[in-house]
Amino acid sequence: MSQHQPISRVINLISEDSQRLWSIGESEARRRLIAGDIDAVLGLGGSFALVAQDGERVVLARSLDRPMRYFLAKSVDGPVLIVADRMDEIAAELARRGWADQFHPSYTRMVPAHHITTLRLVGCPDPNPVHRRFFDPPRGELPGDLDVIGRQYIEAVYNELSRWLAAQDPAAPIGVPFSGGIDSGAILLCLYKLLLNNGQSPARLKAFTLSVDGEGEDARQAHEFLRRTNLEMFGEIIDVSSSALDPLRAVAVIEDYKTLDVECAAVNLALLAGIRERYPDWRLLVDGDGGDENLKDYPIEANSELTIRSVVNNRMLYQEGWGVDSIKHSLTYSGGYSRGCVRSYACAREYGFDGFSPYTRPSVIAVAEAIPFPELTEGSHERLYALKGEIVSRGIRSVLGLDMPVFPKRRFQHGSVSASRAALVFPQNEARYRRHFETLHAAVV
């Protein structure tokens, strides 16, 4: 090869063992990516972060539930694309090759979920990536009947749990991080019925609830939920000291500084550490992440950028942020849960767990997107916030034949810690978290 012709190289640091494709192998999945077959990529079941190369053309795609980052390095032979789950893995690879001075966290890029991202490694300067959407569900097509909506939503959740369960070791125990809230409650009930319907023992299940210093409303709520559904035998409290909550460590694990995500990750790490200490070999966890995003159950008043019109009228706003064509789209972090997925994925990986949430699957999101939110809410915040409990409880009753308790929404970090301790443990200071994040790579910046 001529010394003037650039060599296109790809260094993929994402291990094949981390892929969780349910029905096909990674080589077939990569073939679909290269072919650009939108429907075939959408049909990939499971969790994935895939890279495929055809000469100078490199194609990347990921599922919503996990991060995928890339960095374009320069060598004397031409561009080198490094792909990884994490920023620090990219930094370490650059340092290993003597290119540490090229790195800065903001130079890494997050592949946006639900898109096929194509790069061309053609040399200096390399063109911007092209993002092509592979998941584009129609919006607002369902009737405004909460019974119909609830049934279709829980049917989709149940079916995704069924597909996931079929891919697991039938003897492996299954843990549900459990607050007794709507999302984790529906997960536990669906798994319970699914195991019974498949002729498997529901004794595989445990509902793990975090309690900090023996306090927190989640422990009381979880107990009440299990009592009212006659499932008390599955409950298990993981009690930790407030000294185990370390937001700055959470910043390092999730490589982010957004206050609510950092706080959520801090309590998640404490819960997972407690489970791991008690059960050294436990692997499978099924959580409720993505449920709030699907049914738009966030306080709009807490975000000055949002109005109820923007929330109900923008496609997958809470899942994807403002979209890759928006000025507000962050190249470094993507947006919405597409950014926040690390609070589950990175924390689970830190302790060797294999996590899953059916709420992040396209079939479930498609039902949520088909809900006629403008018609059902008529501009009312209160109607929007009431919808989730109505939809899920009606769906659980219709699909499972069970009555599900519904409690007021509470964030994980607020339910596991007493109100008096929360302000001390979580100072609500994004600037502090951002400064700490910047120090993590100070040696190579």
- Global pTM? 0.94
Please check whether residue 322 is in contact with residue 335, taking contact to mean a CB–CB distance below 8 angstroms.
yes
Phi, psi at 52, each rounded to 5°? -135, 145
Specify the pLDDT at position 92.
96
Does an H or E element contain 195, and which?
Answer: helix 182-197
What tokens does 435 get? 């400064």
Using CA atoms, how far apart are residues 379 and 373, in angstroms rounded to an integer? Answer: 9
Phi, psi at 50, each rounded to 5°? -115, 145
| Positions in the chain whose pLDDT score sits under 50 | 1-7, 444-445
Using CA atoms, how far apart are residues 194 and 45, in angstroms rounded to an integer? Answer: 19
Angle between helices 146-166 and 362-369 (to 10 degrees): 170
Does an H or E element contain 176, and which?
Answer: strand 174-177
